[in-house]
């Protein structure tokens, strides 16, 4: 069901399962994560899509 946060209405968990594991681990080199809830969502995304490492653009005081 489309929403303001998900305009296409895709089930991203199902899409990750459909894609399968990446051929090589993913490194996200430009990540903006702001807030505890965002960090929890991002952790799940990493697990689902095979992101092995990330480099955050968050300020140290916000980490």
CA angle 16, 32, 41 (to 5 degrees): 40
Residue 11 has pLDDT above 90, yes or no: yes
- How many angstroms separate the CA atoms of 24 and 49, rounded? 11
Average pLDDT of the chain? 90
Distance from chain centroid for Cα 42: 4
Enter the tokens of residue 35: 């807030």
Q: What's the pLDDT score for residue 45?
A: 95
Say which residue, 35 or 60, is predicted with more confidence: 35
């Amino acid at each position: 069901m489309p929403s303001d946060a998900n305009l296409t209405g895709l089930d991203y968990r199902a899409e990750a399962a459909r894609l399968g594991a990446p051929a090589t681990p993913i490194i996200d080199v430009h990540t903006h994560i702001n807030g505890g809830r965002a960090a929890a969502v991002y952790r799940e995304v990493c697990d689902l899509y095979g992101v092995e490492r990330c480099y955050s653009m968050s300020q140290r005081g916000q980490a």
